[in-house]
Amino acid sequence: MTTRKYTRPLFVGGFQVGGDAPVSIQSMLSVKSSVHIAAERQIQALVAAGCEIIRFSVMDMDDAQAISYLKRKSSVPLIADIHFDHKLAIAAIQKGIDGLRINPGNIGSRSGVESLVAIARERQVPIRIGVNGGSLPKELLHKYGHSKEAMVEAALSHVKILEDLGYYEIKISVKASDIHLMLASYRELARRVNYPLHLGLTESGTMLNGSIKSAMALGILLEEGIGDTIRVSLSADPLQEVRVAKEILINLGLRKGLKIVSCPTCGRTRINLIELAEKVEKALESFTDRNLTIAVMGCAVNGPGEAREADFGVAGGSGEALLFAKGEIVAKVPEDRLLDELIKLIEGSEA
Amino acid sequence: MTTRKYTRPLFVGGFQVGGDAPVSIQSMLSVKSSVHIAAERQIQALVAAGCEIIRFSVMDMDDAQAISYLKRKSSVPLIADIHFDHKLAIAAIQKGIDGLRINPGNIGSRSGVESLVAIARERQVPIRIGVNGGSLPKELLHKYGHSKEAMVEAALSHVKILEDLGYYEIKISVKASDIHLMLASYRELARRVNYPLHLGLTESGTMLNGSIKSAMALGILLEEGIGDTIRVSLSADPLQEVRVAKEILINLGLRKGLKIVSCPTCGRTRINLIELAEKVEKALESFTDRNLTIAVMGCAVNGPGEAREADFGVAGGSGEALLFAKGEIVAKVPEDRLLDELIKLIEGSEA
């Protein structure tokens, strides 16, 4: 499989990112954090979906104040995303935030940054430097054009500010909405630094298209061994971001979970395979702690053979279906009992 | 961008695959080809969606007979997928098929293969050799395990049969449902041969998850320059396969088309961005012949700046929105007129 590039580990709250930690999943609140109940509900839904780090915008002192409340309600680390105001960042730390996403070069005066780094060091709060292809400094755009050089130099200029203050609890992201620019920027950055990288394709779009683009962009880098934590950005419910991120990691072998393989329908198919595959996927959603591959095949001829590598599977016929385990047929069942029997078979195998 | 590996071009009907041809999109009928009307309708829907080569199973002489009818009804090349029966393959060629997917090693006797290759040569019908991770020969599985070596040796053994007969109009696929096996097999094959490669992740699953997996698998190879024609296999309507394939190619810069970038919602968002992005995407579906990037942004603060690289864009406010072109604001419009004004702006730019 893939060898991951080794990065310097850091801790967001008690949660390790980088080093030998598995690639983690992040998402972002779509509600304002100062609306306590809505934010709390969204945090809990994200955690239930498998989100491991949650970020939110802190735009004013109300949002910063809300941190102490949300910290009590969250079982996962929280990160505050703050622009241009080191006082908000200091307030966020004082309220107990686990991590910051700020760019030291534009968060405030030199003395402001020094105060911020002093308290970040004292409270062990790591900082993500987040460069975005859409908001590069004019002088870098002028010097390099809209290129990986501009992206990486922007990131490294922020890094240098922290390093000059002796602070190394750093993660970096260089997000862009264009896949080629995003890939080139992360590859160059991975060559230049050993800080953990937060991967993201920004403004990737709507549910399906954004998932396709993010899967390509993140998948390409992760398969090369680049990336320590990921956020899939979608114009969709943040819960969907977590779902897509999980699917990416599971299928690259970077996380345990259920893989469903199912054949495309063809002239040979005699059952409603599309519906069956969707149903199997839904029925097995809760099996997240085991590495299982389940095959859902349209025909009994190729089914068991083609899914030999699957742990369990079903192959449809006319009205009845075959259940199989490791490529061997174990039962023939009527189609309407197929799901129950499959689940029974999987649960029985846990013992 | 990516440099594509040069492959020996071939022609499916008049349609070039490999060489300097753009990466093409294939799909497969989910209805039986001998059901003329259903097959004809599906072919026309696939063509309208952007499918460039259509394959279908030919399982019996009825299916082979249907080819002459379907050829008259199709504006794109048709490929017959045939197993274990060289007589069906010969019949398919006689009925006018443009390409075959067969494995010469198990299509029939030596003399049968010779007759088949003779008529394929005469009618200039290329052959795709399609190895599938789920149906590898027992002796190769025994020798190599379920590995890229088994996949590639299986493919090359079929290739050798055709080469020994002096026939080189060959495409190859080595599909698997596991991404790592699929990637390793195609990479090894690309190192060993210069025949055009047909990429696919087989049995990839349901609509969303299958799209995510296919986008990763195909995206990784295409970004490396491997792949001449692709099929996304989904347990879903074949039209969706074409939609996903287009999205993959457009976003890798391998095909013209519309890119929508849209931001994830955050605490700053004051409009229904998810709905707006979906609407913009739908409204602009027909703009397939231009390379346009449209940004759909949630806030007027970051919107125009972050989408500076987009050709056109909208940034939402409260009840009204900004329209911009190349990062410059060109109009402020009420939210309910936003779509119409955007389309007018884009259409006006064609003149």
Q: B220–A223: do the CB atoms touch at under 8 Å?
A: yes
Confidence (pLDDT) at B335: 81
Phi and psi at residue B297, in whole multiples of 5°?
-115, 150
- What confidence tier does B307 reach under pLDDT thresholds 50, 70, 90? low
**Shortest Cα distance, chain B CAs vs residue A308, angstroms:** 6
Q: Residues B50, B55, B59, CA angle at the centre, nearest 5°?
A: 155
From B115's Cα to the closest Cα of chain A, the distance in A is 27
**Per-residue pLDDT for A351 more than 50?**
no
> Rounded to a whole number, what is the distance in Å from the CA of B110 to chain A's nearest CA?
25
Tell me what pLDDT residue B327 has.
77
Residue A191, φ and ψ in degrees, nearest 5:
-70, -30
Is the confidence at residue B91, as pLDDT, over 80?
yes
Provide, as residue numbers in chain A, all residues whose Cβ is less than 8 Å from the Cβ of B301.
none
Which residue in the block uniquely carries the two structure tokens 């080191």?
Answer: A86
Does residue B172 contact residue B199 with C-beta atoms inside 8 Å? no
Give which of A23, A88, A132, A266 to mutate to test B binding, by max B Cβ within 10 Å: A266
Judged by DSSP in three states, A235 sits in: coil
Residue B300 has pLDDT above 70, yes or no: no
| pLDDT at residue A174 greater than cutoff 60 | yes
CATH superfamily of A258-348: Sulfite Reductase Hemoprotein, domain 1 (3.30.413.10)
* CA triple A282-A286-A292, angle to 5 deg: 90
CA B280 to chain centre: 24
Distance from CA of B267 to the nearest CA of A (A): 4
As a whole number, mean pLDDT of residues B31-58 equals 95
Question: Above pLDDT 70, what percent of chain B?
Answer: 94
Assigned token pair, B34: 């001998």
Interface test with B, best of A142, A261, A306, A311 (most B CBs within 10 A): A261
Residue B253: its chain A contacts at CB < 8 A?
179-180
Judge residue B350's burial from the number of C-beta atoms within 10 Å of its C-beta, 0-12 exposed, 13-18 middle, 19 or more buried. exposed
Among A220, A247, A262, beta carbon nearest to B203: A262
pLDDT recorded at residue A265:
65
Given a cut of 70, whether residue B268 has pLDDT beyond it is no
Which residues, in sequence order, are CB contacts of B167 under 8 Å at separation 6+?
Answer: B117, B120, B121, B127
Mutate to test the interface with A, among B56, B59, B251, B281 (most CBs of A within 10 A): B251
The pLDDT of residue A192 is 97
pLDDT at B1 > cutoff 90: no
What is the chain B residue with the closest CA to A260?
Answer: B205
**Among residues of chain A, what percentage have pLDDT more than 70?**
94
Nearest to A135 among B215, B261, B305 (CB): B305
- Mean of pLDDT values over A6-15: 97
CB atoms A233 and B263 under 8 Å: yes
Cα(A302)–Cα(A283) distance, integer angstroms: 24
Q: Kindly determine whether residue A266 and residue B180, on different chains, have CB atoms separated by under 8 Å.
A: no
Taking residues A285-305, report their average pLDDT: 76
Q: How far is A166 from chain B (nearest CA, A)?
A: 32
> Distance between CA atoms of A55 and B3, rounded to whole angstroms?
38
Beta carbons within 8 Å of B183's beta carbon, 6+ residues apart: A223, B217, B220, B221
Chain B residues in contact with A134 by the CB 8 A cut-off are 302, 305-309
Report the alpha-carbon distance of residue B321 to residue A42 in Å, rounded. 27
Q: In this predicted structure, which of A1-5, B91-95, B226-230 has the lowest mean pLDDT?
A: A1-5
Quote the minimal CA–CA distance from A135 to chain B in Å. Answer: 6
Number of CB atoms found within 10 A of residue A257's CB? 17
pLDDT at B297 over 80: yes
Q: What residues in B contact A295, CB-CB < 8 Å?
A: 177, 203
End-to-end C-alpha distance for chain A, whole angstroms: 29
* Residue contact A215–B210, C-beta within 8 A: no
* Inter-chain touch A274–B236, beta carbons under 8 Å: yes
Mean pLDDT score, B65-88: 97
Using a CB-CB cut-off of 8 Å, the residues of chain A touching B2 are 180
pLDDT at residue B207 is higher than 70: yes
- A304: closest CA of chain B, how far (Å): 9
Q: Bin B32: left if φ > 0, else alpha if -120 < ψ < 50, else beta.
A: beta
Taking CA–CA distances from B131, the nearest residue in chain A reads A306
What does the mean pLDDT of chain A come to? 91
Q: What is the mean pLDDT of residues A180-203?
A: 97
CB contact under 8 A, B215 and A220: no
pLDDT at B231: 97
Q: Which chain B positions have a beta carbon within 8 Å of A253's beta carbon?
A: 179-180
Instruction: Please answer yes or no on whether B268 and A59 come within 8 Å at the CB atom.
Output: yes
Name the more confident of A47 and B260.
A47
Contact residues on chain B for A279, CB-CB shorter than 8 A: none
In chain B, residues with a C-beta closer than 8 Å to the C-beta of A267 are: 29-33, 56-57, 59, 63
Higher pLDDT, A72 or B275: A72
Region B205-234 average pLDDT: 96
Mean pLDDT rounded to a whole number for chain B: 91
pLDDT in tens, A210-224: 999 999 999 999 999
Count CA atoms within 13 Å of residue A126 on its CB side: 27
Average pLDDT over residues B150-167: 98
Minimum mean pLDDT among A77-81, A151-155, B134-138, B171-175: which range? B134-138
Of B135, B209, B261, the CB nearest to A177: B261
pLDDT band at residue A267 under the 50/70/90 scheme: low
Residue spans per domain, chain B: 10-251, 258-348
Q: Which residues of chain A make contact with B135, given a CB cutoff of 8 A?
A: 302, 305-306
Per-residue tokens: A334: 């009527």
Burial B259-286 (b: 16+ CB within 10 A, else e): bbbbbbbbbebebebbebbbbbbeebee
**Lowest-pLDDT range, A303-317, B72-86, B182-196?**
A303-317
pLDDT at B351: 46
% of chain B with per-residue pLDDT over 90: 68
β-bridge partners, B26: B53, B231
pLDDT digits (tens, 9 = 90+) for A97-141: 999 999 999 999 999 999 999 999 999 999 999 999 988 999 999
Nearest C-alpha of chain B: how many angstroms from A112? 24
Average pLDDT over residues B7-21: 97
Fold identical between B10-251 and B258-348?
Answer: no
Distance CA A207, CA B208 (A): 9
| Residue among B3, B212, B233, B252 with most chain A CBs within 10 A, to mutate | B212
A261: confidence class by pLDDT, cuts 50, 70, 90: confident
Taking residues B52-63, what's their average pLDDT? 96
* CATH superfamily, region A10-251: Dihydropteroate synthase-like (3.20.20.20)
Residue A269 has pLDDT above 90, yes or no: no
| CB spacing of A251 vs B213 below 8 angstroms | yes
| Candidate from A235, A262, A265 with C-beta closest to B265 | A235
Query: Whole-angstrom Cα distance, residue A232 to residue A248?
Result: 10
Six-digit token pair at A338?
A: 């197929």
Mean predicted confidence (pLDDT) in A186-203:
96
pLDDT of the residue at A94: 98
Angle, helix A179-192 to helix A148-164, in steps of 10 degrees: 40
Query: Using a CB-CB distance cutoff of 8 angstroms, which residues of chain B are in contact with residue A205?
Result: 260-262, 277, 281
Least confident of A69-83, A265-279, B10-24, B85-99: A265-279
